[in-house]
Structure 1
Amino acid sequence: MTHINVLDPGASPLDYYGFELRRHREAAELTQKQLGDIVNYTGSLVGQIETARKLPTQEFSERVDAALGTGGLLSRLVALVMRSQLPAWFQQVAELEARAVEICTFHTHSVHGLLQTEAYARAVLGTLDRSDLDDRTTVRLARQRIFEKNEPPVLWAVISEAALRQEIGGRETMRGQLAHLLAFEHNPRINIQVLPFSVGAHAGLTGSFTLFRFTGDPAIVYTEHYGSGHPTANPDTVKDCSLRYDHLQAAALSIRDSAELIRRVMEERYGEQRDADGDPVA
Structure 2
Amino acid sequence: MTKTPKGRALGNALRQARQEQNLTLREFATQLGRDPGVLSRWETGDRTPKPEQVAQILTSLGVNGDRYEEIVDLAYGADDSNWVATTLPAQRQQLAAFIDFEQNATKILEVSPLLIPGLLQTNDYVRAAMTAARVPASELASRVAVRIGRREVITCDRPTPFTALIGEAAIRQLLGGRKVMIEQLRYLLEMARRPNVDLRIFRFDSSWHPALAGQFHLIETTDSTIVHLENLKSALFLHEDSDVRTYRLAAEKVLDVSMNQAESAKLIRYIVKNMEKDSEC
- Using structure 2 for the length normalisation, give the TM-score: 0.64
1:161 is aligned with what amino acid?
E
Aligned counterpart, 2:269:
263
Structure 1 contact 90–228 (Cα < 8 Å) conserved: no
Aligned to 2:234: 228
Percent identity at matched positions?
27
Cα distance, 1:272 vs structure 2: 5.5
Query: Which deviations, in whole Å up to 9, do the C-alpha atoms of 1:129-165 show, x marking residues without a partner?
Result: 3413222211210111122444221000000000011
**Which residue does the alignment assign to 1:64?**
none
Q: How many residues in Structure 1 have an aligned counterpart in Structure 2?
A: 196
Q: Distance in 2 between matches of 1:136 and 1:12?
A: 22
Give how far 1:240 is off: 0.8
Tell me the distance in 1 between the aligned counterparts of 2:219 and 2:177.
32
CA deviations 1:31-67 (Å, max 9, x no partner) are xxxxxxxxxxxxxxxxxxxxxxxxxxxxxxxxxxxxx
- Other structure's SS at 1:197 match: coil
More helix by proportion, 1 or 2?
2
In 2: Cα distance, 1:148 partner to 1:186 partner: 12
1:181 aligns to 2:188 (yes or no)? yes
Task: Compute the displacement of 1:218 (Å).
Answer: 2.3
Asked if 2 retains the 8 angstrom alpha-carbon contact of 1:192 and 1:255, the reply is yes
Measure the CA separation in 1 of the matches of 2:92 and 2:241. Answer: 27
Structure 1's unaligned 5+ residue stretches are 1-9, 17-85, 276-282
Pair 212,11 (structure 1): closer, same or farther in 2 beyond 3 Å:
closer
Partner Cα separation in structure 2 for residue 105 and residue 191 of structure 1: 11
Aligned to 2:151: 144
Aligned to 1:203: 210
Q: Tell me which residue corresponds to 2:173.
A: 166
Q: Is the 8 A contact 1:184 1:191 kept in 2?
A: no
1:101 to 92, 100, 106: 106
Give the distance between the partners of 1:117 and 1:185, measured in 2 at CA: 14
Structure 2, unpaired ranges of 5+: 1-14, 22-90
Quick one: which of 93, 101, 108 aligns to 1:88? 93
Structure 1 counterpart of 2:178, one-letter code: R
1:200-228 Cα distance to aligned partner (Å, 9 max, x none): 3212221110101122x121111112243
Looking at structure 1, the residues matched to 17 and 146 of structure 2 have their Cα atoms a distance apart, in angstroms, of 16
Alignment root-mean-square deviation, CA: 2.5
After superposing the two structures, state which structure 1 stretch, 152-161 or 194-203, moved more: 194-203
Partner of 2:199: 192
Q: Could you tell me how far apart the structure 1 residues matched to 2:229 and 2:96 are?
A: 14
Tell me, what secondary structure is at the counterpart of 2:279? coil
State the TM-score, normalizing by the size of structure 1: 0.64
Corresponding position of 2:250: 244
1:89 deviates by 2.8
- Contact 2:106-2:221 within 8 A present in 1 as well: yes
Deviation of 1:125 after TM superposition, in Å, equals 0.9
Counterpart residue identity of residue 184, structure 1: M
**What CA distance in whole angstroms lies between the structure 2 residues aligned with 1:201 and 1:11?**
45
